[in-house]
Structure 1
Amino acid sequence: MDHFVRSWAALRAAVADLADEDFARPSGCAGWLVRDLVCHLVIDAQDVLITLVTPADGEPTADAAGYWHVSDEPPTGADPLDALTVRLAAAYGDPALLKFHLDDVGSAAGRAAGLADPARRVATQDMVLTAGDYLAAYVLEWTLHHLDLTAHLPHVPGPPAAGLAASRALLAEIAGGAVPESFTDTDALLVGTGRRAPTAAERAALGPAAAKLPLFLG
């Protein structure tokens, strides 16, 4: 729960400190500007609020790792929701409006997460998870998107170290094996999710694990 709250707070703070011109820069999400990424974060925050107030009966059908849909193909941008996100982001016009909406909805999502019972079962995407596992899955979401935010904005502070470590551990669970310790947490996440290609030395260090990566998560 702490990882979620801290990772989300750090990401929102990074967005709040962006200059207006930063919103027109590319992000680490292929085909998305920073403004598109921030608009996606607003939608994510809404999803968190909806899920945390959607109780479920029965046993959990997924944990934090099982929450993720894994593909070996990168996103094409043809997904209707991806296209809608770009249109919504453009409609904001003034970056200050986008910042305000993220702060408004995002703060509420952070408070709801802090108040949630980790053992309570919630429903989302035809799955039942404990609230704790659902929020643990979102630590990876926040951390990856924080890296996306800073991909072309080196002056913007990156994600918290604890969130990076927790995200790396969850990615290893999803992948069925850990990235070698020679990789930093950031490099393990970037290479493991296809946000950058491994160097020759990194590919050699990966060994047989290179055949399993990258994983495209959705």
Structure 2
Amino acid sequence: MPTVRAAFRAECATLGAVLRGLAPADLDRSSGCPPWNVRELIAHVCAGAGRLTGMLAAPAPGAAEVDAAGYFGAAKFAPEVDQARIDSARWEARELPDPAAVAAEFDRAWQPADEAVGRQPPGRVVRTRHGDAMALTEFLVTRVVEVGVHGLDLAAALGREPWLTPAAAEVATTLLTGGRDVPAELGWDRLTLVGRATGRVPLTDRERAVLDGAGVRRLAFAR
């Protein structure tokens, strides 16, 4: 938990700094997650980063039923689920008129969630919005991946070099590889692996074969 929590805090702090530097026109740019624009993408990230606050206020369920990889299973991205996600972010984005509001809302989302995590006992289990019981540490891994990967989407929308903090890159890569090394024959760093394995950059047939041969997970993840 300390490692994953540190990754969550580092990636959120980095994204928050980017948000505070946005220009008003940036919010209306197309994002890397169509049909959202940047404002709507960040509204989605705010909701995801802050989700733990409510989850931790609820009674803990019994034993965990799914891990972080299972959370990103294809069933979680059925068309009706995706449409609800799209509509929710569009609605929430209406309350974000400018970059200052966007940055403030993100801080209001992730910081209380982080504080709530710090108050939990070891072995805490939470129930996700999909109804699954998950170990808190495993669910926090999904938050690191969400914030990190949507940061890649934001970088693409802004025309900037992509970023991942070292801590978040380590957490995301461990999830994708199951703790194994990134396949050396690809010559990729962790950021490249995360971008390609989550669909941010198309894979060639060779790359897909190497990833499959190495057992690298390609998570079902909203594009």
TM-score between both structures, scaled by the size of structure 2: 0.79
Root-mean-square deviation (CA), in Å?
3.1
Q: After superposition, what is the alpha-carbon deviation per residue over 1:62-96, rounded to whole angstroms, capped at 9, x for unaligned?
A: 2222222236x897996123123123314533332
Equivalent residue for 1:54, pick from 58, 61, 75: 58
Residue correspondences, number: 213
Equivalent residue for 2:137, pick from 122, 132, 136: 132
Counterpart position of 2:126: 122
Equivalent position amino acid for 2:23 in 1: A
Shift of residue 98, structure 1, vs aligned partner: 2.6
Shift of residue 135, structure 1, vs aligned partner: 0.9
Pair 131,84 (structure 1): closer, same or farther in 2 beyond 3 Å:
closer
Pair 4,117 (structure 1): closer, same or farther in 2 beyond 3 Å:
farther
Counterpart position of 2:183: 180
Structure 1: distance between partners of 2:175 and 2:21: 29
Shift of residue 21, structure 1, vs aligned partner: 2.0
Give the stretch that moved more between structures: 178-187 or 140-149: 178-187
Counterpart position of 2:32: 28
Counterpart position of 1:195: 200
Pair 215,128 (structure 1): closer, same or farther in 2 beyond 3 Å:
closer
CA contact 2:31–2:153 (8 Å) conserved in 1: yes
Tell me, which stretches of 5 or more residues in structure 1 are unaligned?
Answer: none
Counterpart position of 1:101: 105
TM-score between both structures, scaled by the size of structure 1: 0.81
Give the stretch that moved more between structures: 118-127 or 205-214: 205-214
Structure 2: distance between partners of 1:101 and 1:208: 41
Counterpart position of 2:163: 158
Pair 52,13 (structure 1): closer, same or farther in 2 beyond 3 Å:
farther
Shift of residue 155, structure 1, vs aligned partner: 4.2
Tell me, which stretches of 5 or more residues in structure 2 are unaligned?
Answer: none
Higher helix share: 2
Structure 2: distance between partners of 1:118 and 1:46: 20
